[in-house]
Amino acid sequence: MFFSKMESLGNDFMVVDMTFKKYHFSTNEIVHLSNRNYGVGFDQLLLIEKSKLNNIDFFYRIFNANGEEVEQCGNGVRCFCFFLYKKKIIKKRIISVMTSKIKMICKILDNFEILVNMGKPNFIPKKIPFLANEEKKIYSLKIFEEKVYFSVVSIGNPHCVLIVNEIDTYNVKKIGSILEKHNLFPNKVNVGFFQILSRNKIILRVYERGVGETKSCGSGACAAVAVGIIRGLLDSKVSVILEGGVIKIFWKGLGHSLFMSGPANHVYDGLIYL
């Protein structure tokens, strides 16, 4: 099986073109392939599939390193579209793609960064899903005798977002692993932690469900900015600093689509026997 290794800001992917060849990856195969010592090594596996809809160029599926299929990946969609363009699978620079849940429009810019219309952020608990009696901007939980305050939002996938004072010293792994699997989130959740530097700049760390902390997370950057704007703490254009680099987010607020802009890179092509 031929594949390509792609990355965006340190968030890495194994991309497989399934438009002419069908193969069912088992959970064990995905876990083995994601292993950085014995496999290809990746945060997510991206599978390209033919579209059955006239207004959609391609479908694609996303699997986390633990083998679980997920609905969305912001860095992944940029890598996915850059792969299509680089491999000349598609020649146009505006590409419509769809996962199991959402549709996105991607534009490859002149500097080869990819601008993505991520759709409208959703704060309704049952749409995330999050078990709550009413919609609020801020929720709280007691963890290890300490009250933790957070917001929830869907960017096509579920996110729990915390604002912290010192991002470098915050225990992202400990709190992230607890919230990721908390019973208030029926489908588990991605957990973002961000520190505000100004109304146009934040630092973000993300504990991704099924993966752990990653060097960057595109949908996590979208979620953090959406929460910051809805809480009146950020402006409509925000640079999000992650360990792997910077993502730019643009959002005018409720009722508007959110846009994400960032790089995508092809690392190498490979052949593997399964």
DSSP, res 122: B
| CA separation, residue 178 to residues 109, 146, 162, 216 (Å) | 39, 13, 13, 20
Q: What is the pLDDT of residues 28-61, one digit of tens each?
A: 999 999 999 999 999 999 999 999 899 999 999 9
Instruction: Establish whether 73 is a catalytic residue.
Output: yes
To the nearest whole percent, how much of the chain has pLDDT over 70? 100
Residue with structure tokens 């699978």?
A: 89
* Res 180: pLDDT: 97
Cα 147 to Cα 62, 130, 140, 175, distances in angstroms: 34, 18, 6, 11
Q: Is the pTM of this model over 0.85?
A: yes
- Structural domain boundaries in the chain: 2-117+263-271, 125-256
Q: What is the mean pLDDT of residues 259-264?
A: 96
On whether the 2-117+263-271 domain is CATH 3.10.310.10, my answer is: yes
Assess whether pLDDT exceeds 90 at residue 196: yes
Selecting among 73, 81, 106, 160, the annotated active-site residue is 73
For residues 231 and 149, the answer to whether their CB atoms sit within 8 Å is: no
Q: What is the CATH number of domain 125-256?
A: 3.10.310.10
Percent of the chain residues topping a pLDDT of 90:
92
pLDDT recorded at residue 223? 98
Looking at residue 144, its pLDDT comes to 84
So what's the pLDDT on residue 102?
86
**pLDDT surpassing 90 at residue 22:** no
The pLDDT tens digits of the residues spanning 212-236 come to: 999 999 999 999 999 999 999 999 9
Q: Note the pLDDT of residue 240.
A: 98
Handedness of CA 206, 72, 254, 147 (dihedral sign): negative
Name the pairing type of β-strands 158-163 and 190-198. parallel
Task: Express each pLDDT in 128-183 by its tens digit.
Answer: 999 999 999 999 999 988 899 999 999 999 999 999 999 999 999 999 999 999 99
* Residues 6 or more apart in contact with residue 194 via CB below 8 angstroms: 161, 162, 163, 164, 167, 202, 203, 204, 205, 224, 228, 240
Place 89 in a pLDDT band, splitting at 50, 70 and 90. Answer: very high
Nearest alpha-carbon partner for 176 in 220, 138, 136:
220
Confidence class for position 113, pLDDT limits 50, 70, 90? very high
Computed over every residue of the chain, the mean pLDDT equals: 95
Q: Which pLDDT does position 209 carry in this prediction?
A: 93
- For residue 81, indicate whether it is catalytic: no
In angstroms, the CA 182 to CA 151 distance is: 14
Candidate list 81, 160, 217, 222, residue with the active-site label: 217
